[in-house]
């Protein structure tokens, strides 16, 4: 199992306790480019035209991401895997 699949399994298993650094590492390992603004992280991939995944900038000491943003990122990775299989 490659490093990015292990990271995907780890993030997918603990969707409520994901740090933003882990989410950024996961998305960049799958080839997504990261654009950060003051309020959010935006991920895009050249194979998924028109798809932008957004994760709001987390607040607090532990910098945990809301579950809905993690779910959106995992859905985008699944879409990418389908496109790459074709």
Q: Would you list the DSSP string of 5-70? A: HHHHHHHHHTTTS-BHHHHHHHHHHTT-EEEE-SSEEEEE-TTSTT-EEEEEPP-SSS-BPPHHHH
* Residue 74, domain extent: 3-85
Asked if residue 1 has pLDDT above 70, the reply is no
Number of domains in the chain: 1
Instruction: List, for residues 62-82, the tens digit of each pLDDT value.
Output: 788 999 999 999 999 999 999
pLDDT at 32: 95
List, for residues 51-64, the tens digit of each pLDDT value: 899 999 888 777 88
pTM of the entire predicted model? 0.87
Of all residues in the chain, what percent carry a pLDDT higher than 70?
99
């Amino acid at each position: 199992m490659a490093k990015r699949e292990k990271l995907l399994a780890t993030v997918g298993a603990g969707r409520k306790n994901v740090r933003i650094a882990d989410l950024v590492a996961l998305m960049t390992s799958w080839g997504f480019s990261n654009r950060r603004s003051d309020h959010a992280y935006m991920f895009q991939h050249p194979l998924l035209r028109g798809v932008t995944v957004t994760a709001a900038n987390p607040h607090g000491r532990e910098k945990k991401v809301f579950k809905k943003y993690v779910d959106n990122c995992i859905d985008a990775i699944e879409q990418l895997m389908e496109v790459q299989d074709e």
